A and B are shown apart, each in its own frame.
Chain A
Amino acid sequence: MAKYLLLKHYRGAPAAVNDVPMDQWTPEEISAHIQYMNDFAARLEKTGEFVDGQALAPEGTWVRYDGEGRPPVTDGPFAETKDLIAGWMVIDVDDYERAVELAGELSAAPGAGGKPIHEWLELRPFYGVSPTITE
């Protein structure tokens, strides 16, 4: 088994094929999209491949240490940040091919006009654990 992180971006991914902001869809199209996402996660839970999924708010803060006895420095959010993550799903699958297949399904979620968004998702493998038996 291998774990993969599926990353969805607010910004930073190449443009989707059906790239219309959600507030320009019809309410029914929004419902259909949410239903598709819920069904996808439920299906992965049934196949035993779902690990975790979370969505992130679009605005965050940058923080760094500022020296002994001083409060951390905060900055942002930066409107110009190129890469903005919207959420993730962690899957535990047999191999890379299965991970690609699932990411493809997720990217087919319907958008404006009820047509697939063809959104680019980033697929990142977790570092694995070295096998106990090496020879």
Chain B
Amino acid sequence: MDEALLRSLTPSVLAILVRRGADFAAAEDAVQDALVEAIRVWPADMPRDPKGWLITTAWRKFLDATRADAARRRREDRVDEEPAPGPAPDADDTLQLYFLCAHPSLTPSSAVALTLRAVGGLTTRQIARAYLVPEATMAQRISRAKRTVSGVRFDRPGDVATVLRVLYLVFNEGYSGDVDLAAEAIRLTRQLAAAVDHPEAAGLLALMLLHHARRAARTAPDGGLVPLAEQDRGRWDTGAIAEGIGILQAALARDRLGEFQAQAAIAALHADAPTAGETDWVQIVEWYDELTRLTDSPVVRLNRAVAVGEADGPRAGLAALAELDSSLPRHTAVAAYLHERDGDPATAARLYAEAAHKASDLAERAHLTRQAARLNSRRPR
């Protein structure tokens, strides 16, 4: 049973049902029913045209449900006969579905859940496991999201930027449970980048590929974080890096720079360096300057301070850091790192311990505590 094939067909099947006049919530239920049917039937009897089979089956499921509904409510005339097959489904249908699932009226968590379910074709149970919430909670979140967008018309173009933000959120969630959300985000972004002519969609895809390429090297056998400079570069996925850089270069050539392309450019410069010592920090600082201009985000300025510390020395990095609000997340950790590089292990150890106390996730806390411990255990207790 080719689950990947099944899930790749989901969004266009759903989009076709909606285009034929099914309301979004009912269409979504019908497609899920059709997927369940496919999993049951296909292993023994694989259809020659899987997509056509899914469309037909989902449409029947929709009609059955609507007729049952109609019989109850005496609204038989609402949906009558199966319409003649419409024009061949095209990329636009899938694209409209992305827009709908990332609609601005949805909260980020709802948009993420709806995108994974309706565009990604994941089951509610899989999404719930991935986000570590009970299945009933996720089911409620999805059905509320469906209600929220049920009145949205399906024929107006949406904003690609909102879709990209949702996919970025999915990617950053990483993976837990039996679904690899990062890989799923890459799959959905790839599909989007193929459907829409937008350099930032390509930029986001490149960024994801370049980060994902380093995943195996990012975690130590004991589950601890391995910082970029200490990663075994032999474990980076060179295929993903080459693909990411290719996509990025094509996007940059369009000369419509955006924040995802700029972030991908930074990731590409790291990926290009054979060793951490050969990293082109001067160029990375320049990209952070671009990124600051595009987003004016304090987090970007913080990362820029790290890059300045590498390009121009720790004192310059500390000077850049001094201009930023010290309550920023990771500010203390960056200060600790720069003080260590500046040859002040006592201050660095104290700041690492303080940063560990403020860390927002366990792996980061363990990593920062270990940094403090490393410096403390080198000095007499």
Contacts and interface: CB of A to CB of B under 8 A. Distances in A.
Given A30-B366, A30-B373, A55-B362, A23 B222 contact: no
B128 to A, nearest CB: 14
B360 interface: yes
Contact of B357 (A25, A55, A58): A58
Interface string B222-264: 1110000000000000000000000000000000000000000
Nearest to B352: A23
A24 B373 contact: yes
A63 interface: no
Contacts of A30: 366, 369-370, 373
B340 to A, nearest CB: 14
Interface in A38-71: 38, 55, 57-59
Contacts of A26: 373-374, 377
Nearest to A29: B373
B100 interface: no
B223 A34 contact: yes
Contacts of B22: none
Interface string A73-109: 0000000000000000000000000000000000000
Interface residue tally on A, bucketed by range: 10 to 19
A8 to B, nearest CB: 13
21 contacts: A21-B353, A22-B369, A22-B373, A23-B349, A23-B356, A23-B369, A23-B376, A24-B373, A24-B377, A26-B373, A26-B377, A27-B370, A30-B373, A31-B224, A31-B370, A34-B222, A34-B366, A35-B222, A55-B362, A57-B359, A59-B358
The B interface, classified by DSSP as helix, strand, loop or mixed, is helix
B372 interface: yes
A12 to B, nearest CB: 17
A35 B369 CA distance: 15
Interface residue tally on B, bucketed by range: 20 to 34
Nearest to B354: A23
Given A24-B376, A25-B373, A27-B374, 13 more contacts: A23-B353, A24-B381, A26-B377, A29-B373, A30-B366, A34-B222, A34-B223, A35-B222, A38-B223, A55-B362, A57-B360, A58-B357, A59-B357
A25 B349 CA distance: 12
A34 B376 contact: no
A25 B381 CA distance: 10
Nearest to A26: B377
Contacts of B369: 22-23, 30
A3 B26 CA distance: 40
Nearest to B357: A58
A27 B222 CA distance: 12
Nearest to B358: A59
A59 B329 CA distance: 14
B230 to A, nearest CB: 12
Nearest to B372: A23
Contacts of A29: 373
A55 B376 CA distance: 25
Contacts of B381: 24
Contacts of B356: 23
Interface string B361-381: 010001001101110110001
A92 B204 CA distance: 44
A55 B362 CA distance: 8
Interface in A1-43: 21-27, 29-31, 34-35, 38
A27 B224 CA distance: 11
Contacts of A31: 222, 224, 370
B377 A27 contact: yes
A24 B223 CA distance: 21
B367 to A, nearest CB: 10
